[in-house]
Amino acid sequence: MDGLQTLAELRSRGRSPAVIMLSSHTERGAAATVDSLFHGAKDYVTKPHDLTGSAAAVSWLRAELLPRIHALFPAEGTDAAPAPRTASRAGIVVVGASTGGPQALMEFLETLPSPFPVPVVVVQHMPALFTRALADRLCDRVPHRVREVDVEEILSPGAVWIAPGNRHLEIVRRGADFRSRLHDGATENGCRPSVDVLFRSAARAAGSSAVAVVLTGMGHDGERGARDIHACGGVIFAQDEPSSVVWGMPGSVVRAGIVRSVLPPRLLAAQVARQVGHE
């Protein structure tokens, strides 16, 4: 069996181990990896092209695989209560996700009402090629138009926009429109695209009409940007720990005390819809 067949067989037997896929960095590998994430894999690593010898392979596995294993089985943490907050209705929704994000994004977006009255802009930590495959797969599964941002353009309401792998995505305001801006700046929190970059730009462009959603993921990317949105009067939502594959990113904003609601993705979608005034 290949990887996808193995995942299907595990599910048919009622087994749910934490599966990490090893993927080639090709269009075919990207498509297969995104499919595996929708079928139950928790995370993935991409095979490098330039390893020579077993020592290099072991070193690479140690650096790339072990942190993901540790993240999937964290030590017991402490809970933090979210802070209630009032804010203006949204003009744009920004979403950050990492490990476990594709499945959480699908659950969030398939529950989000359609047509949706504001743009939804997403940073999912993935390399180039993988983000295009993710956008294509989501477009087939959710009731919204989903596309990878590949040029600087108007971010129209009713669509979902995904940051391309290895490029930062920012939002800029031009009159009544929100527009995308792509650039190749330095990584932040070891990431490009970075959730912090997107969230900071949303704070500048939308102020109190920005709504941020932090979904499952390793690390704390998005926390500083979420603080900026909160300081401008915007609203932050976070995925809860039981439904998260890794409660790193959402946990960091919850502990910061800036979160309106902490819920599974489907319930977050209902909260966000109410926030933007969708009846």
Assign 170 to helix, strand or coil: strand
Is-contact 255 80, C-beta < 8 A? yes
Q: How many CA atoms lie within 13 A of 34 on its CB side?
A: 27
Is-contact 214 226, C-beta < 8 A? yes
Cα separation, 76 vs 83, in Å, equals 22
Residues labelled catalytic: 98, 125, 221
Is-contact 171 198, C-beta < 8 A? yes
Between helix 130-141 and helix 27-38 the angle, nearest 10°, is 50
Cα separation, 198 vs 20, in Å, equals 27
With tokens 């941020």, the residue in question is 212
Ramachandran angles phi, psi of 94, nearest 5°: -115, 140
Q: How many CA atoms lie within 13 A of 103 on its CB side?
A: 19
